[in-house]
Amino acid sequence: MDATEVIRAGIALIEPVLSPSGFAWVPESAGASSGGDFARGAFVRGDRRLELSFRHSLGLITYSVGDARISHSEYMRALGRAGEASYPGFSDDPLDGFRHLLSDLERFGSEFLNGTDEQFEARLRWVHANPKKSGLAAT
């Protein structure tokens, strides 16, 4: 399968969790590049977006409300769920990334799907106030 086919199949897996909250899939770009086939788009409801990018596997996942943006890993960290998150997981099946994201959305996504802008902005403020440690500081 090419990237467009994989992202369509992945969208079919996670859409049942997002569509009841009013999110609709909007494809944004797809094609071939030096790094391989890619496809990207977003589930959108008003100014709220869950952006997905696929190239060989599900890659960058970004949550946004207006101009406020946060990666999936940082959002899970802000929710206190980093150690429990399924995504990214590891697999040779390109759809497993979508399955892992689905698990995280089902278990931890209700605040983004149905919460307020203020709740999202509070998570973003927490991430900025508590940067992820790296290197020796992370151990």
Domain borders along the chain are: 3-130
**What per-residue confidence (pLDDT) applies to 93?**
93
Q: What is the pLDDT of residues 71-100, one digit of tens each?
A: 999 999 999 999 999 999 888 899 999 999
**What per-residue confidence (pLDDT) applies to 115?**
96
**What per-residue confidence (pLDDT) applies to 48?**
98
Global pTM reads 0.91
Q: 26: buried, middle or exposed (CB in 10 Å: 19+, 13-18, 0-12)?
A: exposed
DSSP 2-49: -HHHHHHHHHHHHHHHHGGGT-EEEEEEEE--TT--EEEEEEEETTEE
- 137, pLDDT greater than 70: no
Q: Distance between CA atoms of 82 and 33, rounded to whole angstroms?
A: 32
Q: Which two tokens stand for residue 26?
A: 């909007």
Beta bridge partners of 38: 31
Q: Taking residues 112-137, what's their average pLDDT?
A: 90
Do 65 and 121 contact (CB within 8 A), yes or no?
A: yes
Run of H or E including 126: helix 117-129
Q: How far apart are the first and last CA of the chain?
A: 40
Of residues 89 and 123, more confidently modeled: 123
- 38, pLDDT greater than 90: no
Q: Taking residues 113-128, what's their average pLDDT?
A: 96
**What per-residue confidence (pLDDT) applies to 134?**
75
